[in-house]
Structure 1
Amino acid sequence: MSLGANILPVFEQLGLYKPLMEIALPIVRMNMFTENTDAIGVVEVDDSKTLIGYNAICFPRPDLYDLILSQVPLEKIHFNKKVVALHEDETQVTIDCEDGSSYHGDILVGADGAYSSIRQLLYEKVSLEGLLPPSDSEDLSLSCGPEANESMIKEIYNFNNGVGGIMGELTDTTPRERISKVMLEEKLFETWHSGRVAPLGDDASQRRTGYIKAMQDAVILTNCLYDLEAWSTHDISAAFAEYKDQRYHHAKYHFEISKTNAQIMRDRQVKLPTCCIA
């Protein structure tokens, strides 16, 4: 996983930049290869910190999870919960979980991924109110699971890995539970909030650059909520609307770029070079 100057200032503001750098390595160059590992060229980025204040960095994703979790009191985290219903009134929003437990608060932010149960429950509510756009009611396709993993591993096993070996050398040394295959079609949703509920990140739009955009979404949403002087449903809805106003055009821009690139590669049968980050 990698992060750069478009989100690292947030980690610095939160006091997490130094701990993050302890688990990360700076990216100093990108070596480009063809699928046959023939060298195309090198992009030197070791002067990034001088130019823009930060080096791009890379690190194991689980290490970032551990770092963030270490900053949150354990009593505020509840694992193995599946939300099956949500209810709103003028003072709060409540979620019901599959195990019979319930939780309530001023707002509910759905950050549980592209096939978010929060977004699905929200859309059911908005649909009953006759306010859900037809495009948001279209189903998304999803392909995943252990069977998909094994077939993928066999298919790519003898592929060049870009650094002189084969992909099988990487899959053989990676715990099977850390390997996943997900085929996700990209989609830009129009409904980003209703009442006291708002999806965030992939809940609002599926994009291949989703994790950084989701972090940026969280920053903007936090700032919009920070400015609130009252917590009525009307005030919260206004803050959510401001959040969408600030983020939607960014999401649409990246969605269109990604869609265009995918179409070019599909129609022109473009072979992408392999990128090895050093």
Structure 2
Amino acid sequence: MSSSGVKVLIVGAGIAGLTLAIFLERAGIQYFILERVFEFKPLGSSMVLSPQVLRVFDQLGILPELEKVSGVCVSGVYMSHKQNVLGRIDVSFLEERYGYPNRVFSRPDIMDVLLRFIPKEKILWGKRVLSLLQNHEGAMVRCADGTTIHSDIVVGADGAYSAIRQALYDSIKKKNIRLPDSDMSPLRFDQFSILGVTERVDHLYPFPGEGCKMYNIFPSNPDQVYVHTIPYDDGRIAWRLSGPCLSKYLNGEASFRCSDWDTESIDDLKKYLNDAPAYIIGTHTKVISRIMVEDKFYETWYHGRTVLVGDGANQSILDSICLANLIVELPTTHPDDIEQMFSTYYSVRAPQARKAVAGSKTLGRIISADTPVGSVMRNMVLKLLSGPLNVKSMDGMYSGRPLLNYLPPIPLKGSLPNTAKPVTFGIGAEAKRSRATVV
């Protein structure tokens, strides 16, 4: 649909990269995905997609396929280490208010669905990026296998501490442009987690009815693990363990591998798994994954012909919706037009991303408090979020439910009005607005 004939190179075949690829595929934009591994690895545990992003999958016609491999989340339950309930955050009202519920997925399941909607020849496996060159004429990525790929735009969708981010920073520093100190500070990996999915265990552990509930079990002291579990409809449990006691799993390569998924045996963890459902986790999971991340807002999102999308599932999909809408409107591949496009993208998405990171950090500090005073504050916050403040906070997150401007719009679902406005490049914006009204 773009008159520019733009060619896009997406680096990273995770949720962000695959979603953007589907958006570009529907728009008829030329693209390829580079992925460093040689084949898809079914790693990871659970993730939740919000009403904000489910709407665009409904517009694409993909939602029925996603519904087949997901469950509806109705609440989050927070418990003490003795499994006494400290608070419940109800989310059962989301579908009535925003048109869609929170849906819980196994990461391998959602990846499998997304891969079905991308032509196989568009994903180049085993392409580890070594360097990035960009100039007035275009961009070139060089891979470890000796190949080079040319494009007009490079999109880094390969994690918080990605190869493209580092290559982008290198190109900026070569021009003697100072990067913000916060962007250059090392990641602290204070959210190191170990996670996995059990075999079917509903015959061993009673599953609650009336929809999926997320269970969060706080440790009795800092030497124990925080346990997060989500029962699936098919009898499996998705789980995540986190806590300072797991820091020994960090290694000297951490600063270069923080966005990688790694696998190992469950055996070394069994000493931490004293309670049910933690015991069931340990005895009925064959392979686990580990991931090292930190909630961090980066000020630098683009330079030249290279742009980055976020790392978290929902934020990265919202980034991709905005970016795809702008790429479709790109009039030419001239650097000035690309600069204007990236600037618009940043102005729309950065404030929302900054707010999301700040909120996540604040909630994380409160929820994971391990002092007596912190525990009291945590219980107070949980009580507040169990009441009317819950709906108000959800409205702040889910009132804006964007669509792809270049596809036929779908009717608005849910009782709350939509606050999302069409994001346009600027050139021909009035004509675009006339046919891409907010619905």
Task: Write out aligned runs for 1:121-140 (5 A).
Answer: 121-135=167-181, 136-140=183-187
Q: State the partner residue of 1:229.
A: 331
Task: Write out aligned runs for 1:1-12 (5 A).
Answer: 1-12=47-58
1:182 correspondence with 2:291: yes
CA distance in 2 between counterparts of 1:150 and 1:236 reads: 51
| SS state at 2:159 partner | coil
CA distance in 1 between counterparts of 2:64 and 2:148 reads: 37
Is the contact made by 1:123 and 1:132 (CA closer than 8 Å) also made in structure 2? no
Q: CA deviation at 1:187?
A: 2.1
CA distance in 2 between counterparts of 1:123 and 1:9 reads: 34
For these two proteins, the number of residue pairs brought into alignment is 259
Structure 1 residues 128-155: Cα deviation after superposition (integer angstroms, max 9, x where no partner): 112232412222245366679765x245
- Which consecutive unaligned segments of at least 5 residues does structure 2 have? 1-46, 190-249, 255-261, 383-439
Give percent identity, aligned residues only: 31
Q: CA deviation at 1:251?
A: 1.6
Q: State the partner residue of 1:201.
A: 310
Structure 1 residues 170-221: Cα deviation after superposition (integer angstroms, max 9, x where no partner): 2332232xx233343332211110011011113xxxxxxx221111111111
Give 2:133's match in structure 1, choosing from 87, 97, 117.
87
Task: Write out aligned runs for 1:8-157 (5 A).
Answer: 8-135=54-181, 136-142=183-189, 143=250, 151=268, 153-154=269-270, 156-157=272-273
CA distance in 2 between counterparts of 1:255 and 1:26 reads: 25
Is the contact made by 2:51 and 2:94 (CA closer than 8 Å) also made in structure 1? no
Change (3 A) 1:150 1:237: farther
Change (3 A) 1:12 1:2: same
Give 1:171's match in structure 2, choosing from 282, 286, 293.
282
CA distance in 2 between counterparts of 1:254 and 1:148 reads: 34
Give 2:344's match in structure 1, choosing from 223, 242, 255.
242
| SS state at 2:140 partner | strand
CA distance in 1 between counterparts of 2:187 and 2:319 reads: 22
What do you get for the CA RMSD once the two structures are aligned?
Answer: 2.5
Q: State the partner residue of 1:259.
A: 361
Using the size of structure 2 for normalisation, the TM-score is 0.54
| SS state at 2:130 partner | strand
- Which consecutive unaligned segments of at least 5 residues does structure 1 have? 203-209
Change (3 A) 1:263 1:24: closer
Using the size of structure 1 for normalisation, the TM-score is 0.83
| SS state at 1:59 partner | strand
Is the contact made by 1:220 and 1:243 (CA closer than 8 Å) also made in structure 2? yes
CA distance in 2 between counterparts of 1:173 and 1:147 reads: 15
CA distance in 2 between counterparts of 1:109 and 1:170 reads: 37
Q: CA deviation at 1:263?
A: 4.7
CA distance in 1 between counterparts of 2:75 and 2:296 reads: 32
Moved more, 235-244 or 253-262: 253-262
Change (3 A) 1:43 1:192: closer
Q: CA deviation at 1:266?
A: 6.4
Moved more, 137-146 or 94-103: 137-146
More helix as a share of residues: 1
CA distance in 1 between counterparts of 2:90 and 2:358 reads: 28
Could you tell me which amino acid in structure 2 is paired with residue 82 of structure 1?
R
CA distance in 1 between counterparts of 2:175 and 2:346 reads: 20
